[in-house]
């Protein structure tokens, strides 16, 4: 039980960080929505989805955190699972948005000539709608019955009512997504380094002629566009690093909870 001074400190810190995160993501959404150019680019559909996921996650997490640690409200099992499902859906959608963005950037670097044909606005909308649907379905599974109270199974030590098999399933899904994201961005950064010298040697040119294997002219592209794609990829790498730093300890505790019993003093 926290002392009044500790409760005040927790409330101030949570509200400060939560407000900053909400405003930051609102700025991202406003920039995307107010720019017709950005709205038409599939990449920014996924970035907008990431901003929405982080915004919702911040609001739900701060509300739930303050409700428990400051106001000491005791929720019913269904209300607890609903709140936890909101955080789970937001985090899963956040990782899913990064996953879709990684696929988008991978295609833009690996198949630059076919990118506009492969990645269209319609496909992008379908992809992130499907991703959000899957994230929500995964998040509500405990509320629908996959919980240790309903199944009379082994409960997680850190998430009450959460079945350990569900926790293992969720960790497995997010880990696979994160591993693919890391692979995609390592490939992108390698390609960026590989082409850096060639791009710098042609900075004075306004266009770059691309030829096929038989020597015929295929398409004219702008080095500025290629550099912008790589800068965007590097920015998204930083976002991934921040995500791993913030959520890595939590995931590590979850993995520990799966295989070892948590100390009661933790």
Q: What is the pLDDT of residues 107-161, one digit of tens each?
A: 888 888 888 899 998 999 999 999 999 999 999 999 998 988 888 888 887 788 8
Decide: 10 and 66 in contact? Cβ < 8 Å.
yes
pLDDT at 220: 47
Lowest-pLDDT range of 137-141, 173-177, 186-190: 186-190
Percent of the chain with pLDDT over 90: 24
pLDDT tens readout for residues 12-41: 887 888 888 889 899 999 999 998 888 888
Decide: 104 and 93 in contact? Cβ < 8 Å.
no
CA distance linking residue 63 with residue 15, whole number of Å: 9
Percent of the chain with pLDDT over 70: 78
pLDDT at 8 over 50: yes
pLDDT at 3 over 80: no
pLDDT at 199: 58
Average pLDDT over residues 34-58: 89
- Give the DSSP per-residue string, 74-129: ---HHHHHHHHHHHHHHHHHHHHHHHHHHHHHHHHHHSTTTHHHHS-HHHHHHHHH
- With CA atoms as reference, report the closest residue to 208 among 218, 191, 199, 221: 221
CA distance linking residue 77 with residue 247, whole number of Å: 25
Average pLDDT over residues 157-185: 87
Domains of the chain, CATH where assigned: 4-259 (1.20.1070.10)
Angle, vertex CA 88, rays to CA 82 and CA 91, nearest 5: 145
Average pLDDT over residues 235-248: 72
Residue for token digits 């993995």?
A: 255
CA distance linking residue 243 with residue 246, whole number of Å: 5
User: pLDDT category, 92, cuts 50, 70, 90?
Assistant: very high
pLDDT at 237 over 60: yes
CA distance linking residue 265 with residue 141, whole number of Å: 30
Average pLDDT over residues 73-101: 90
pLDDT at 248 over 50: yes
Average pLDDT over residues 220-229: 54
pLDDT at 89 over 90: yes
Lowest-pLDDT range of 8-17, 61-70, 124-133, 223-232: 223-232
């Amino acid at each position: 039980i926290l002392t009044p001074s500790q409760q005040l400190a927790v409330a101030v810190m949570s509200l400060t960080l939560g407000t900053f995160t909400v405003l930051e993501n609102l700025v991202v959404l406003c920039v995307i929505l107010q720019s017709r150019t950005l709205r038409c680019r599939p990449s920014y559909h996924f970035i907008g989805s990431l901003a929405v996921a982080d915004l919702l996650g911040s609001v739900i997490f701060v509300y739930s955190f303050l409700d428990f640690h400051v106001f000491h409200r005791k929720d019913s099992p269904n209300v607890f699972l609903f709140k936890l499902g909101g955080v789970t859906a937001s985090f899963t959608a956040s990782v899913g948005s990064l996953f879709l963005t990684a696929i988008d950037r991978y295609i833009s670097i690996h198949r630059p000539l076919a990118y506009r044909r492969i990645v269209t606005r319609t496909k992008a909308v379908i992809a992130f709608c499907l991703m959000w649907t899957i994230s929500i379905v995964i998040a509500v599974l405990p509320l629908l019955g996959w919980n240790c109270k309903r199944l009379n199974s082994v409960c997680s030590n850190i998430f009450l009512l959460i079945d350990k098999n569900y926790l293992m399933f969720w960790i497995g899904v997010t880990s696979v997504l994160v591993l693919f994201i890391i692979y995609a961005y390592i490939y992108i950064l390698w390609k960026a380094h590989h082409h850096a010298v060639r791009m710098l040697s042609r900075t004075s040119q306004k266009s770059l002629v691309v030829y096929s294997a038989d020597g015929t002219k295929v398409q004219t592209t702008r080095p500025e566009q290629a550099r912008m794609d790589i800068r965007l990829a590097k920015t998204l790498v930083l976002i991934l690093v921040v995500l791993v730093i913030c959520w890595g300890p939590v995931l590590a505790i979850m993995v520990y909870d799966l295989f070892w019993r948590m100390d009661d003093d933790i």
